[in-house]
Amino acid sequence: MNKKTCSFCGFDDKAVTVYEDEVCFAIVSENPINKHHVLVIPKKHYESFIELPDKLAVHIFLVAKKLSKAVREACNPDAITHLFDDDVSKSGYNMVPHYKFHIIPRFKKDMHMIDWGQLRTDQNYDDCCKYAKGIKDKLR
Ligand SMILES: [Zn+2]
């Protein structure tokens, strides 16, 4: 998918737009993970988090913070989950391969699970240590 076929490039449905400035906009998702799901979207087409210029990444984060407060007040969720897209388009994880910051209100018994259920074992602790070393090596 390129900019010409991307539904977020040139998005202009003001009925679902809740915020707009010179570099980004926010909409109520028409394909929500949970009800009242809001997306913060850069106007310029980026496919991954790591492609965002630093200044834009900071800006989107601050807009998401402001919108999360408004979402809390608008729909009174029990919690909010924030998700970010990064490199999700190449394997079909994403319906629209245009970077977006997800603000997902959570409600008791909404049945949307992020499974934190892996218990610590010696084996997975060893795997964690090996993985941590791999990340630290890449940061050097
Ligand atoms: Zn786009």
Per residue of the chain (140 residues), what is the pLDDT tens digit?
555 689 999 899 999 999 999 999 999 998 888 889 999 999 999 988 999 999 999 999 999 999 999 999 999 999 999 998 887 777 666 778 899 999 999 999 888 877 666 777 787 888 888 888 998 999 88
Q: Tell me the CA–centroid distance for residue 104 and ligand 1, in Å.
A: 21
User: What separation in angstroms does the CA of 120 have from each of 29, 114, 117, 123?
Assistant: 36, 17, 9, 8
Q: pTM of the prediction?
A: 0.86
Ligand 1 centroid, distance to 23 Cα (angstroms): 13
CB 68 within 8 A of CB 80: yes
Residue with tokens 């979402």: 71
- Look at the block and give the residue holding tokens 């707009």: 20
The topology (CATH level 3) of 17-113 is HIT family, subunit A (3.30.428)
Ligand 1 mean position, distance from CA 45 (Å): 4
Instruction: State the pLDDT at residue 4.
Output: 64
Residue 2 Cα to ligand 1 middle (Å): 7
Question: How many angstroms separate the alpha carbon of residue 58 from the centre of ligand 1?
Answer: 19
The CA angle 66-98-134, to the nearest 5 degrees, is 90
Tokens of 1: 């998918």
Q: What is the pLDDT of residue 1?
A: 52
Q: Please tell me the predicted confidence (pLDDT) of residue 101.
A: 96
Distance, in Å, from the CA atom of 118 to the CA atom of 109, rounded to the nearest integer, reads: 21
> What protein residues have CB closer than 5 angstroms to ion ligand 1?
6, 8-9, 45, 98
CB 49 within 8 A of CB 86: yes
Residue 12 CA to ligand 1 center (angstroms) comes to 13
> In the structure encoding, which two tokens stand for residue 109, read together?
């018994």
CB of 112 closer than 8 Å to CB of 33: yes
**pLDDT reported for residue 97:** 86
Nearest-angstrom CA–CA distance, 105 and 65: 13
The Cα 35–Cα 102 span in angstroms is: 12
